[in-house]
Structure 1
């Protein structure tokens, strides 16, 4: 289309005329281009369009809305150039930009959604920081304020055992209860560390595996006097591991076997050394664990469904798996009617 500098149409094609609901002859010399714009478009035409054309001689990619005869709006993208061969005229080219308009609206909506998600993420981050701080504070309370009275109970039990031999069975039960409470606190602290810090750590050093496992089993016999614990050693040599973590792993696996195994059969703790790896396993007899439950047992707050008087909160096997991961190892579970249930933790023999 072509217009005079004041916007009067000098030439218009049928396509443009149809966009605004007029016949071409209804526009030629009778209407001005700006009359077909929205109110905002008319203001833009007066304050920007005309001055820019006068200064630059052309305008590119300007988005405006035309108003159809029936009042509907048509988004268009306009280009214009001033021609000065004789009387100055403005040549305009327009194309409908419905798809572009839709795309731009989608972009705006996407940006708003992104801004909302960023805000939500920032809020969640702050909440996570608050929860982490709370967890750290709770760790301090648990490790200090709860362990202190447990230490007092142990000292008192040891003193009473020396001064009141007749009460020894009761005192020993009291000491075992304090030990269980201390193990529970340790598991809770490790669970919190694993969740906050991305896993447990292991301070590995050379050790004699069979000697460590034998000593741990001996201590566990005292903790579980009603159960028969056997130690089987296979292979020989030293390995590298965190002795404290290995003792904790054995204690958790044995506690699990005590809770869910058949008390009529012994619990067998096996330590095995191979050329490139070593392993510790605990086997107990009893009803087999269904295959579909194997993976879920290592989730925190999950306990087996076998019979027994379990007193844990379901962190033991989770901690076992985390200890294995900290050593670069893994935990496997097999459970059959014939062979019983065996948890086996396998580790690389050396680190590095």
Structure 2
């Protein structure tokens, strides 16, 4: 190797004999160990090592150079002139020179490499810690999901039991309620004082209200627990069915002014009883929340293979926040008291009846225009 290239190399270079005697070193070698070239030449390379380094040189490094002719990236601890330890990586190569064997040694500093390895080790530890944390989090999440799943299953069973109980109780209430209504009707046929007739009227109105509640509860449980609300569609005169429903509702709600308007003509095939139930629930809702000093308008329309019934009332507007969930069970438009208030299932039943007919229900409400519920049903189901 040319002398200038040897001296200006970026690593520490040394040439030794086979027994380790130093023949030549470059400037970086002398800088690293603090000895001059004159002081180093003639000394054995292994004498510049720590005790552990010397043992390693004797048992591993020298034998590998003799047997394999080279070594790569062997980590050694050398001793600086001032006694400080200098860690290096050594690459060695065995070559023949003028009937003698020499070793070319190249030493590389490990400061940056050690820093990199420490950072790599720290990064690995951090990654392992994060992986452990992630695993623990996943275990906790899985456990929470299992607990939630079990809690949900329990709540579902409880809800199903409660709905079944409601269905059973509602069904069993029909018989005593029928007996009450029959007894009230029988008593009203005879001669009665005004006070007695007033009391019988209250009994009749209360039993009518209870009957509507029971019907809603039975439909609710049928929709939630059973196979859904059933209908029996048959040809009918849509306007006439609505007219009969309004006539019966006038008796049920004597304080309300019910006006029926007809638009369009055409045939229809629907479940008459269910259509009357839709009208009854919407009118009962208007009576409960509307202004009874003003009329409740029921409009029946037929046209374009569509039947439509709209119930409009004036009064306090439904808050915007309630409109989205108004047709859910147990939802009410306001908290104001009303003697005709039911269990909060009327609008839910209306929606389910509209859906089972293949239709839908919408609502619009404002202080100026009032509130309108509109049910649209296909003319033929």
TM (norm. structure 1) is 0.65
1:271 aligns with 2:300: yes
> How far did residue 308 of structure 1 move?
6.5
What is the match of residue 301 of structure 1? 330
For this pair of structures, how many residues does the alignment match? 274
Q: Using the alignment, how far apart are the partners of 1:104 and 1:251 within structure 2?
A: 63
Give the equivalent residue in structure 2 for 1:133. 161
1:113 to 135, 141, 159: 141
Cα distance 1:254–1:99, how it changes in 2: closer, same or farther (>3 A)?
A: same
Deviation at 1:280, TM superposition (A): 0.8
Please say if residues 12 and 24 of structure 1, whose CA atoms lie closer than 8 Å, have aligned partners that are also in contact. no
TM-score normalised to structure 2 length: 0.61
Q: Find the residue that maps to 1:231 and give its secondary structure.
A: strand
Question: 1:12 offset after TM fit, Å?
Answer: 10
- Residue 360 of structure 2 corresponds to which residue in structure 1? 330
CA separation of 1:226/1:127 partners in 2, compared to 1, >3 Å: closer, same or farther?
closer
In the TM superposition, residue 251 of structure 1 has moved relative to its aligned partner by: 0.8
The aligned counterpart of 2:175 is 148
Do 2:266 and 2:302's aligned partners in 1 also have CA atoms closer than 8 Å?
Answer: yes
Residue matched to 1:313: 343
Answer whether contact 2:166 2:217 (CA < 8 A) is retained: no
Tell me how far 1:161 sits from its aligned partner.
1.2
C-alpha spacing 1:165/1:14, structure 2 compared with 1 (3 Å): farther
Deviation per CA, 1:311-337: give whole Å up to 9, x if none: 323222222222222222222222345
Alignment of 1:36-185 (within 5 A): 99=127, 102-103=130-131, 106-107=134-135, 109-111=137-139, 113-144=141-172, 146-166=173-193, 167-185=196-214
Give, in whole Å, the separation in 1 of the partners of 2:275 and 2:372.
17
* Alpha-carbon separation, structure 1, partners of 2:329 and 2:151: 27
Kept after mapping to 1: 8 A contact 2:313/2:370: yes
1:203-352 to structure 2, matched below 5 A, reads 203-305=232-334, 309-310=338-339, 311-351=341-381
Q: CA deviation at 1:239?
A: 1.8
Q: Is the aligned partner of 1:191 residue 2:220?
A: yes
Task: Kindly indicate whether the alpha-carbon contact (under 8 Å) linking 1:206 and 1:240 is maintained by their aligned counterparts in 2.
Answer: yes
* 1:14/1:199 CA distance change after superposition, 3 Å: farther
CA distances 1:26-62 after superposition (whole Å, capped 9, x unpaired)? xxxxxxxxxxxxxxxxxxxxxxxxxxxxxxxxxxxxx
1:39 alignment counterpart: none
Superposition RMSD in Å = 3.7
Q: Summarize the Cα distance change of 1:122–1:164 in structure 2 as closer, same or farther, 3 Å threshold.
A: same
Query: Which of 243-252 and 104-113 deviates more?
Result: 104-113
Q: Unpaired runs of 5+ in structure 2? A: 1-58, 62-70, 78-85, 89-119
Q: How many angstroms apart in 1 are the aligned matches of 2:229 and 2:295?
A: 31
C-alpha contact 2:319 2:333 (8 A) present in aligned 1:
no
User: In the alignment, is the contact (CA less than 8 A) between 1:298 and 1:317 conserved in 2?
Assistant: yes
The 3-state SS of whatever aligns with 1:163 is coil
Describe the superposition over 1:213-243 as per-residue Cα deviations: whole angstroms up to 9, x where unpaired: 1111111111112222121121122223232
Any idea what the Cα deviations from partners look like across 1:102-160, whole Å, max 9, x if unmatched? Answer: 5477346525632552354144324422431342133112211x222211110101110
Provide the secondary structure at the position in 2 that maps to 1:297: coil
Structure 1 residue 181, shift from structure 2 partner: 0.6
* Cα distance in 1, alignment partners of residues 236 and 203 from structure 2: 33
Deviations 1:161-193 (CA, angstroms, capped at 9, x unpaired):
112344334323211110101111222233334
| Counterpart secondary structure, 2:179 | helix
Per the alignment, residue 31 of structure 2 pairs with none
C-alpha separation between the residues in 2 aligned to 1:308 and 1:99? 63
Question: Structure 1 pair 111/296, CA: closer, same or farther in 2 (3 Å)?
Answer: closer
Q: Cα deviation per residue 1:244-268 (whole Å; 9 max; x = unaligned)?
A: 2222111111111112222222222
Greater CA deviation, 195-204 or 269-278?
Answer: 195-204
